């Protein structure tokens, strides 16, 4: 899950398909922390192996990113400072 207040963020996140990440579900809602921001939940799989690169790109453009995973050690919330 990550959040941002930039218009068009969902569309820019869909560009992550260039990493061959298979998206299952995308959900957005107003953030509880700041009413001007939005939280996004993205469900995907890593069968093609490009998820780490996609997450690195999201981290650089998001205020906060939390990864919930069954098969990865990368499950921490990251405050990217943006």
Is 33 inside a domain boundary? Answer: yes
Is 82 inside a domain boundary? Answer: no
Is 62 inside a domain boundary? Answer: yes
Domain count, the chain: 1
Is 29 inside a domain boundary? Answer: yes
Q: Give the closest residue to 41 by CA, choosing from 27, 54, 53, 29.
A: 27
Is 77 inside a domain boundary? Answer: no
* pLDDT band at residue 12 under the 50/70/90 scheme: low
Q: How far, in Å, CA of 65 to CA of 40, rounded? A: 10
List, for residues 41-75, the tens digit of each pLDDT value: 888 887 877 888 888 888 887 888 888 877 655 54
Q: What CATH number does the domain containing 65 carry?
A: 3.30.70.260
CB atoms < 10 A from the CB of 33, how many? 11
pLDDT at 33 exceeding the cut of 70: yes
Nearest 10 degrees: Cα torsion 67, 71, 72, 77: 20
Q: Which has the minimum average pLDDT: 15-19, 23-27, 31-35, 77-81?
A: 77-81
CB atoms < 10 A from the CB of 38, how many? 18
Is 76 inside a domain boundary? Answer: no
* Amino acid 11: pLDDT: 62
């Amino acid at each position: 899950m990550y959040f941002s207040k930039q218009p068009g963020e969902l569309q820019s996140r869909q560009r992550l398909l260039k990493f061959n990440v298979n998206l299952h579900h995308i959900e957005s809602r107003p953030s509880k922390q700041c009413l001007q921001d939005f939280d996004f939940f993205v469900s995907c799989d890593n069968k093609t192996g490009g998820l780490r690169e996609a997450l690195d790109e999201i981290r650089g453009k998001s205020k906060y990113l939390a990864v919930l995973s069954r098969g990865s050690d990368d499950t921490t919330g990251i405050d990217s400072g943006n």
